[in-house]
A and B are shown apart, each in its own frame.
Chain A
Amino acid sequence: MEDNPVTREEMIDRLRKAMSDSSTEDVDWDSVTEATEIGSLGFDSLSILDLIYEIQREFKIKFAAEEIVKVRTVGHLLDFLQARV
């Protein structure tokens, strides 16, 4: 039996959760789309670490933390994650 592939919409929902768990900013996470710039979500040098930890936990994947910090938009982050899930 084949595994059901995770849809992009499911992934963005899980990503929104990981982001809201790690951010201390007051953001309307439902309005976050693939075009949203990650830099506009208020992550700083510490909360980005929280986010990386949450992503590694949520998607059960390991990657070198520095690979993710140059990703600019939520859509690019989804691409990054889809290639590894």
Chain B
Amino acid sequence: MSSPLLTLRHRAEFAVFHAVLRAIDRMPVDRALAMASRIGDIVYALDFYRRGVAKRNIRLSGIAAGRAETVRIARASFRSFAQLAVESLKADDYFRSGRWREMVDLQIDPAADEALKAPGRGAILAGGHIGNWEIASRVLATFKPVVGITKNMNNPLTDRLVKDRRARENFTMTPKRDADAGRLLEVLNRGHVLGLLVDQHARSAYGEPIRFFGRHVSMHKSAALLHLVSGAPLILGCCVRTGNMKFLVRAYPPVNIPRSGDKNTDVRALMLELNSKLEDMVREFPEQYLWAHRRWRPLRPALLAKIEKLGPGA
């Protein structure tokens, strides 16, 4: 607490954050969710930048019929994100008391179910920023241990608080960057599930240009490469909201593509398959997708050159 790196701003942010968490903990669910919706509306009204990103992304995806539909989806997306935060906190009681099935309907493909529950066998669960990915991880953690990847928050105080709140039996986090290069493979080797959100912009040299709703994005290769080198089943899933503290957890059949023997071809085929299924999810539940994330950023020259080399079908 006495670190000179902790600025007054960090402490002020932490105080507000901590107070909000305590207030949510004490509030009845329906009231907390109504408050979350209002906060979502306020952020939508005041955060010009993220609102603009969301509306632009919705337009680029082509899923909205017109301007009114774009605005409706964008606003609902902001509300959905605020509700995610509240419901993730409120879900603690359900999971601790073993009553989580009261709030979750499962729609798990039989082959995915077998892969996710097979003792001692690791699996890669890929998802996107749709619905409530926190609840998805916790439901999965009732089958077998789950490891998620996290990025440190800018504020070390709130970062510690969030990590403490997230740390639960059978659900642990590993940092996005770490000196231990083999830790993701070790997760799979221990027979655990590695949860990866595959729809984040890849800044590093490991981004691959893949189409998402017809436009190229820089996508992380991790899930596809891990599947190729480890042989662990790669399963796409999501957890969408169906009402207040009600969710549908869905897992699709394990991704299965014919192997060409060429790494780049196989990695791209796997990534295209993941993106294609993710698009289907987003089309089905557009209001629950995190549209405010800058998915379609300008691509680095190396990626533009790669697209040109791959030709018009890329």
Binding site for B on A (CB under 8 A): 24, 39, 43-50, 52-54, 56-57, 64-66, 68-70
Contacts and interface: CB of A to CB of B under 8 A. Distances in A.
A46 B229 contact: no
B284 interface: no
B181 A44 contact: yes
B181 A45 contact: yes
29 contacts: A24-B205, A24-B206, A39-B181, A43-B181, A45-B180, A45-B181, A45-B182, A45-B222, A46-B206, A46-B221, A48-B181, A48-B182, A49-B226, A49-B229, A50-B225, A50-B263, A52-B229, A53-B225, A54-B263, A57-B263, A65-B185, A65-B229, A66-B182, A66-B185, A66-B188, A66-B189, A68-B182, A69-B182, A70-B182
Interface residues of B, number: 24
A53 B178 contact: no
A56 B229 contact: yes
A64 B186 CA distance: 11
State the main secondary structure of chain B at its contact with A: helix
B163 interface: no
A69 B185 CA distance: 8
Contacts of A54: 263
Nearest to B188: A66
B228 A46 contact: no
Contacts of B229: 49, 52-53, 56, 65
A43 B181 CA distance: 7
A68 to B, nearest CB: 8
A53 B225 CA distance: 8
Contacts of B188: 66
Nearest to A46: B206
- Among B177, B185, B189, B204, chain A packs the most CB atoms within 10 A around the CB of B185
